[in-house]
Amino acid sequence: MSSKFIKPLGLILSLLVVGFFPSCQKEDSAADTENFVLQSMYEIEERCGSGIEGCYELVFPVTLQFIDNTTVEVSDYDALRQAIRDWYQANGGNYQRPNRPHLVFPFDVLNDAGEVITVSTQEELMTLRQACIVDTFGPNHHGHLGKDRPCFRPVFPLTLSFPDGTQGTYNTPLELQQALRAWKLAHPDSQERPDLVFPITVEKKDGTQIVVNSPEELRALKADCRG
C-alpha cells in the first residue's frame, strides 16, 4: 500500500481514538454519578425504613449532610435526588471512597397509622428502624435499588391533633415542621405522638390524588404500594 494512503488513514484513526475516549469517559462519569445517587437514596431509605419498600414516609423538608459537612435543605424526593447528583458532580472526584450523605437530625416520618414521628437522635432512629417489620432491606436489597420513591405524599393543608388535646392546621411543610419542633421541645419526654386529623388528601406515586378517611385506609394504601 502506498504511504500516501497510510498517513491519512493513520490520521483518521487517531482522530477517532481521540474522540472516542472522551466520550467513554463522559459515559463512565455519568454512570458513576447515577450509581452514587442510587446507592445514596437506597441508604437513606434503608436507615429509616421509608419509601415504597419501608414502613414510613419522609415528611419534607429534610436536611442532607455530605462528607465535607456541607448541608442542603430539600423539599421533596426529586430535590433530594438532584442535590445528591449536584454534590457528586462537583465533589465526587475529591474523595477516593466518598461516604454517602445522611439526613440531619431532627427529621420527621409518617407511619401508616397517621402518627407523625420526630426522630432526634441515632438511638431514636435505630428504634424506629427496628419497629419496621417489613424485611425488604435484607441480603437481596439490590433488587430494590431504584425504588426510592414515596408511596404517597400528604397534600397540604394538614391538621394535626396533639396529645394534649390541641389541634393546629398547617399550610406548608415548613409550618408543619416548625409546629412539630415546638411541640417536641415543650414535651421532650412524651412517648405520645401527634396524629393527622382525617380525612386527608394524599398524592400517590403516579401523581393521582385520593382522599384517605381513616388510619385503616392509610394502612391499606401503604400495603397496596408494596404490592
User: Stretch 133-138: mean pLDDT, rounded?
Assistant: 50
Alpha-carbon distance 14 to 21, whole Å? 11
Tens of pLDDT along 8-66?
A: 555 554 545 455 545 555 556 888 999 999 999 999 999 999 988 889 999 999 999 99
Pair 202, 155: CB distance under 8 Å: yes
Host H or E run for residue 24: helix 3-48
Residue of higher predicted confidence among 169 and 141: 169
Output the pLDDT for position 62.
96
Residue 147 dihedral angles phi and psi, to the nearest 5° = -95, 30
pLDDT exceeds cutoff 60 at 147: no
What is the pTM (predicted TM-score) of this model?
0.79
**Domain locations in the chain as residue ranges:** 29-226
| Confidence check: pLDDT of 145 > 50 | no
Average pLDDT over residues 130-153: 60
Query: What confidence tens digit (pLDDT) does each residue in 53-83 have?
Result: 889 999 999 999 999 999 999 999 999 999 9
Structure confidence at residue 5 as a pLDDT band (50, 70, 90): very low
φ and ψ of 161, to 5 deg: -110, 125
